[in-house]
Chain A
């Protein structure tokens, strides 16, 4: 039984590994077909990444990018959730905020990067700000929907039993909200690293994006690929450490069956 369950869990991992292996082989094939000036060998990029990590060169860049991504994500999550909850609770405020957020959602991150660079300068908080502006509408919409989708029948049940506000918040309102908020936070976090690196590429600086921009300027394709590998690795680690537990929590909490016993 346990071995069967383990095999069921291991199978997707094995297939995932096979997929990554195929991607690596395609990279190697591309390298062989087009030469090192178009696509350096994966092994070479891997060795360069190891050297960057061993020299201690990569860690400060990683810290800056992580700071930009996580700082922007956290601030965006707090602002988005705060506005979404306020909008969900106060009808007119929600009606006023919704179109604003729809417009914000429609502005591409690259436009925010340009604006942020103009406002904050290339060394300022442009990447973190861009991440924040990307995260706010995603989290806002989820918080707003989470409150709008509250089950009024559960609210009636709580009213009948005289549940005070704090108990309702803890056992009713927050769990309903989290069902919507957790996937949005996960999506925003995945976006945060990509957007932070993109903003750094355009703005320069000492983050991973800045180092990619420098390597590109030197036509150092091996180092460019090494930094890209590092970003992907960071995303995978983030996914494993933050998003996977969130997904597990969500699937464990999700009410998966019909709740009604009587018609």
Chain B
């Protein structure tokens, strides 16, 4: 169980969190949606013990927490295989076993034998992202903290990796706290959707849901979510104008907003 209990955190430019409460149970994939800069990444850092709250407390009772950062954070001097095996080496897994497990997982993610030996600089952005995801999943974590992990990937690859993460939840019972700006990704993956307000972040919408599979259902669920007044106020308001709706941006800041959202097809 991961619990944020009355968590407050203040940076130099003001409070990021104030009295924040949230719990993530084993086997559930919780998607955090919220406007840019509202504190989603901060929540992941608190859960990973990379930051400490100013007030309240963060309880993480999971034994194996893995993090997929916004950037891949790969070791540039070592191959893709070594980068994935690093997480296993940190847990004391024997060299032969860790290389075998890392190679098998990277193989599932589309890496050829030659790709395994490439250093991060020789990998495409998508392959770097996949390496970082493999590094997180190879340790068979019981909690995965993911910060916009698929933002740089194309639609097909994104769908495959979404399925891989869902598999870790459905098959292995892992818990996932997943930050994204992409509403369609959220409704496709989530067991629970949590929408945060602007700073200081508070939960404005927390609903149990079911991962949607078909493009039509994803479309409908995303539209319904954006139609919820509290969600609309949090996600679609312009800066400084709370509650003012504007044209929905499915992935703000990542790419030009498409004329029509391109739903992941199954």
Q: Residues of A at under 8 Å CB distance from B?
A: 153-154, 156-164, 167, 171-172, 175, 253-263
Contact = CB atoms under 8 A, between A and B. Distances in A.
A262 B119 contact: no
Interface string B129-156: 1001001000100000000110110000
A262 B121 contact: no
A115 B83 CA distance: 51
Contacts of A157: 67, 69, 73
Contact of B78 (A171, A257, A260): A171
Given A261-B71, A262-B71, A160 B121 contact: no
6 contacts: A154-B73, A161-B139, A162-B90, A163-B90, A255-B76, A262-B148
Contacts of A253: 77
B5 to A, nearest CB: 22
A159 B151 CA distance: 24
A259 B120 contact: yes
A153 B50 contact: no
A161 B253 contact: no
Size bin of chain B's contact surface: 35 or more
B89 A163 contact: yes
Given A171-B78, A253-B77, A261-B152, A156 B50 contact: yes
Interface in B60-93: 65-67, 69-78, 82, 86-87, 89-91
A147 to B, nearest CB: 16
B48 interface: yes
Contact residues of B: prevailing secondary structure: loop
A167 B89 contact: yes
Contacts of A256: 121
A261 B129 contact: yes
Nearest to A178: B77
Contact of B74 (A156, A163, A259): A259
B75 A175 contact: yes
Contacts of A259: 71-74, 76, 120-121, 128
Contacts of B126: 261
B66 A171 contact: no
Contact of B66 (A153, A161, A164, A254): A161
B107 interface: no
A257 B122 contact: yes
A249 to B, nearest CB: 11
Given A159-B49, A257-B121, A263-B151, 19 more contacts: A153-B71, A153-B73, A154-B75, A157-B67, A158-B90, A161-B87, A161-B90, A162-B91, A167-B89, A257-B120, A258-B125, A259-B71, A259-B72, A259-B73, A259-B120, A261-B72, A261-B129, A262-B71, A263-B254
B78 A262 contact: no
Contacts of A167: 86, 89-90
B75 A260 contact: no
Given A261-B128, A261-B129, A160 B75 contact: no
Given A158-B90, A160-B48, A262-B148, A171 B82 contact: yes
